[in-house]
A and B are shown apart, each in its own frame.
Chain A
Amino acid sequence: MEEAKCSRVKVESILSVVSGKPTEPGKVHKLSMLDRAMGSHTIHIVFYYASNPFLDGPMPSDLGNLRITLSELLDEYPYVTGRLTCEPDNGEWLIKFNDAGVRMLQATVDATIDEWLGSADGVEERDLTAWEEMPNDPSFWSPFRVQINKFKCGGLALGLSCTHMHTDLTSATMLFKAWSEVHRRQPPTHPPIFDLPPPPTPTPPPPTPSPLPTTPTKMATATLKFSPAAVDKCLSQAPADATPFDALAALFWRRVAAQAPTKRSLSICVDSRDPSQHAPAVPYAYFGNALKFSTLTDDLLSGGLGQVAGHIHRHVAGMKKEEFSSEINATGGMYGGAALTCFNAEHMAEAESGRGIMYDAEFKKGERPVHVSYSVGNVGREGLIMVMPAAEGGRGRTVTATLPEEQVAELCRDQVILDFEPTMILCGRRS
């Protein structure tokens, strides 16, 4: 690659931020089977803001102001400031609520936000949420890292990275949103819940053999923004009750399958917190992993866009009604391990406006993030497609595709997709 190997992101300093109030000593939280199954993945979310909201405040430095409200937030999240430990006798993973805090990194970026969104790719974006692999002894390793990245234009990117063992994309987004509420001195909309009542009947996970890749595949990420009009055009080919997720998942499945005919099945990932359900299985404010995975087989996936969208829609409805048992692979690799995984984030769209709740994370009143990037680490070679709600609301969607490098390149050149006129950002080249 002729691009410069040195990244434009430079980490200046690392420190720890702790909560303001000490936690009662001795408390622990046991991680569930789902938590452990998700453990091989990591979550990286980046919130881009046009201006630095932390420059106003009682402290002379932005870091000082940031620390005040982050500390206040952490008072409510002892889960986030605790440390992982593994019980030697039964191999159970626990989080000890020991107040150790989160790691905070300060970095500068040698670009403006617009330049960055136009020219950076998934790999470089990972630098905005610098990650350290978990060591053998995780007792002094911070599972949550917050990174504050300052752009040349005065813009700011707040990066959050954490293990997928502790939380999923929804609750990580809620954490950030809660922080913005604390910063604006607003009461929290969703005070976190950390413990769920145990499930009525324990569901034994069906053994799902995951073929381990012999050589690690180089993955790449591309983000495509579909306007509401484009999504409507896609939906016009699908049955009437299909959601944007159904249509876009079907579209991407067909284009990826067209390039890689060996793909035989599609795994759908749905969040159990869906507020549109009459009685959601898991409360919206639950902080942790609340995902359901289920696979659609080949026979349902052949056919035109409309047919596939219809099958996906029915399958998602079935998952919500608990018609399919959740497939948990105890050895991990839930995303992209056995099949191309599509992540359904329809529950993260606000009911009225359709705008993603992540775009409500305003640190300064009236200043929404210009973009929110989601990415998952250690995705299996089959790939992951995330369909997230967009900033402008309505039926617009932002699709983030993590696939082997060549497949991503092909996807970005695919004429069927380009017909929908997506705006491509963070693809490593000018859109």
Chain B
Amino acid sequence: MQDILLKYMKLGYQYLVNHILAFLLIPTAIAVAVEILRSSPARWNSFAIDPIHLIFCSFLAVFIATVYFMSKPRSIYLVDYACYKPPVTCRVPFSTFMEHSRLILKDNPKSVDFQMRILERSGLGEETCLPPAIHYIPPTPTMDAARGEAETVIFSSIDSLMKSTGLKPKQIDILVVNCSLFSPTPSLSAMIVNKYKLRSNIKSYNLSGMGCSAGLISIDLARDLLQIHPNSNALVISTEIITPNYYKGSERAMLLPNCLFRMGGAAILLSNKRRDRSRAKYKLVHVVRTHKGADDKAYKCVYEQEDPQGKVGINLSKDLMVIAGEALKSNITTIGPLVLPASEQLLFLFTLIGRKIFNPKWKPYIPDFKQAFEHFCIHAGGRAVIDELQKNLQLSAEHVEASRMTLHRFGNTSSSSLWYELGYIEAKGRMKKGDRVWQIAFGSGFKCNSAVWKCNRTIKTTSDGPWQDCINTYPVHIPEIVKI
């Protein structure tokens, strides 16, 4: 009884605060209208309107309207996106991974056991894929193989995108590519310009070294460019090329990426053109970037270095989850006021004031983000990241389902994982017009980046996309520990 009462009180409070303007204005408007109607017609004549005043007022109104519309930031639309689906020949079952690991690291049984424990608890499934060069015993990560992987992943994604949007290569105005660990010369963006014969005045950018959160950094960059260039579109490519970065040593902290990172990539088409407004899938509402690099611990927590044997790998520090939590808190503090309804913000403010002035022992109020968003895409960095965020943001299992299932089916595909997750939600038919999506990504630096999208039109489940052949088998139950 108490609970139900509390629930209704809370609902009432939320409704009141979120619609406070309506609650204030409507009675006022009614009162004014009643007053006008009651007043005698005689008083009306005393409101003699000077024609000069009228012209001046209308001029002012038009002027203000023009300034408003001109200074409003352009709306950026996501027309469509395409994710890369690796071929089944690249599949790496757990047993094959462990077998190769044992054959390659035969002098380091402890490292092999460590990898097995990681894999058992990783949340990955048996269908994740590694590029062909890594299937060799030992792996053959040549530059050619890396370029081959880049070409396969990127060109397939772009071809899919062009097919679904009807985009012609010569129509691309802006090109942003992000790939953290593989940065050849000429760049990957030059590789795309060469393959598709893009225009010579294209604005192309290649972001490297920016970690798993670089996908949203690219979106942010594309958005800023689309503010300056009217009537343009931007092609954003987010991927991570695994071939050159397979760690060949035996240091445990550096073996983790080998177990989790898998092949993947996404191509996204953004536009500020008026005619794309109706066919676009999403509208970009906010991008919030938080960089904790000023703190030494955060800076060093994901660090590429040589191990004692001189083999290069990425060292993940033990404080990773703590630092991720801090970065998330920073990001939420910025994004909260932008997206949360007034009721939540007021509660947060009251609790904050209360803690500062009255009693520091009051529990800090964690705003309910489920009221701000219908869907969540949490970077599938690993099971621990998703668990941590689910706990911190008090999300249900269904909210994090897209992230967990993407981790299971595709592994950690770095910056493109957010797009696979979005694809999952669409493939399940859950995306309706007006739904708000929050994409959160973490990456080396340490950075936490968020993007907020609003669904522009209800998205029908289609027969293409990376989930087409397996969506009906999902969601699957992922056990805590998988026995290999």
Chain A contact residues, CB within 8 Å of chain B:
13-22, 64, 67-68, 71, 83, 98-101, 140, 142
List of A residues within 8 angstroms of B89 by Cβ: 17, 20, 64, 67-68, 71
Q: How far is the CA of A421 from the CA of B468 in the complex (A)?
A: 62
Q: How far is the CA of A21 from the CA of B473 in the complex (A)?
A: 13
Whole-angstrom distance between the Cβ of A143 and the nearest chain B Cβ: 12
Q: How far is the CA of A83 from the CA of B137 in the complex (A)?
A: 18
Beyond A15-B135, A16-B135, A17-B89, is A100–B126 a contact (Cβ under 8 Å)? no
Beyond A16-B100, A18-B93, A100-B93, is A71–B88 a contact (Cβ under 8 Å)? yes
A22 touches B137 (CB 8 A): no
Q: How far is the CA of A185 from the CA of B356 in the complex (A)?
A: 73
List of B residues within 8 angstroms of A99 by Cβ: 93, 95-96, 126
A98 touches B140 (CB 8 A): no
List of A residues within 8 angstroms of B126 by Cβ: 22, 99
Cβ-neighbour of B137 out of A14, A20, A64 (below 8 A):
A14
Please encode chain B, from 126 to 162, with 1 for each CB lying within 8 Å of some chain A CB and 0 for all others. Answer: 1100001001110010000000000000000000000
Using A16-B99, A71-B89 as known contacts, list a sample of 14 further A-B pairs with CB atoms less than 8 Å apart, ordered by residue number in A: A14-B136, A16-B135, A16-B137, A18-B91, A18-B92, A20-B89, A22-B91, A22-B127, A64-B89, A100-B93, A100-B95, A140-B102, A140-B103, A142-B99
List of A residues within 8 angstroms of B137 by Cβ: 14-16
**Chain A CB within 10 Å, residue with most, of B93, B95, B98, B103:** B95
B127 touches A98 (CB 8 A): no
Nearest A residue to B148 by beta-carbon distance? A60
List of A residues within 8 angstroms of B125 by Cβ: 22
A140 touches B99 (CB 8 A): yes
Q: How far is the CA of A254 from the CA of B135 in the complex (A)?
A: 51
Q: Quick check: is B87 within 8 A (CB to CB) of the other chain?
A: yes
Q: How many residues of B contact A (CB 8 A)?
A: 22
A13 touches B91 (CB 8 A): no
7 contacting pairs across A/B (C-beta < 8 A)? A16-B100, A18-B91, A18-B96, A22-B93, A71-B89, A71-B91, A140-B98
List of B residues within 8 angstroms of A98 by Cβ: 93, 95, 484
Q: How far is the CA of A22 from the CA of B99 in the complex (A)?
A: 16
Whole-angstrom distance between the Cβ of B434 and the nearest chain A Cβ: 38
List of B residues within 8 angstroms of A140 by Cβ: 98-99, 102-103
Nearest A residue to B93 by beta-carbon distance? A99
Nearest A residue to B99 by beta-carbon distance? A140
List of A residues within 8 angstroms of B92 by Cβ: 18
A100 touches B99 (CB 8 A): yes
Whole-angstrom distance between the Cβ of A386 and the nearest chain B Cβ: 33
Nearest B residue to A60 by beta-carbon distance? B148
Instruction: Give residues of chain B (58-105) contacting chain A, Cβ–Cβ below 8 Å.
Output: 87-89, 91-93, 95-96, 98-100, 102-103
List of B residues within 8 angstroms of A18 by Cβ: 91-93, 96
Closest 10 pairs between A and B when the two form their complex, measured CB to CB: A20-B88, A100-B95, A22-B126, A99-B93, A98-B95, A140-B99, A67-B89, A15-B135, A15-B136, A14-B137
Beyond A17-B89, A20-B88, A140-B103, is A101–B96 a contact (Cβ under 8 Å)? yes
Q: How far is the CA of A142 from the CA of B100 in the complex (A)?
A: 11
Q: How far is the CA of A179 from the CA of B98 in the complex (A)?
A: 27
Q: How far is the CA of A15 from the CA of B132 in the complex (A)?
A: 9
A13 touches B136 (CB 8 A): yes
Whole-angstrom distance between the Cβ of B94 and the nearest chain A Cβ: 8
Nearest B residue to A139 by beta-carbon distance? B99
List of A residues within 8 angstroms of B88 by Cβ: 20-21, 71
Q: How far is the CA of A17 from the CA of B132 in the complex (A)?
A: 10
List of B residues within 8 angstroms of A67 by Cβ: 89
List of B residues within 8 angstroms of A14 by Cβ: 136-137
List of B residues within 8 angstroms of A100 by Cβ: 93, 95-96, 99
B136 touches A83 (CB 8 A): no
B140 touches A16 (CB 8 A): no
List of B residues within 8 angstroms of A16 by Cβ: 96, 99-100, 135, 137
Nearest A residue to B139 by beta-carbon distance? A15
Please encode chain B, from 104 to 122, with 1 for each CB lying within 8 Å of some chain A CB and 0 for all others. Answer: 0000000000000000000
Q: How far is the CA of A64 from the CA of B102 in the complex (A)?
A: 25
Q: How far is the CA of A336 from the CA of B291 in the complex (A)?
A: 74
List of B residues within 8 angstroms of A19 by Cβ: 91
List of A residues within 8 angstroms of B91 by Cβ: 18-20, 22, 71
Q: How far is the CA of A43 from the CA of B92 in the complex (A)?
A: 28
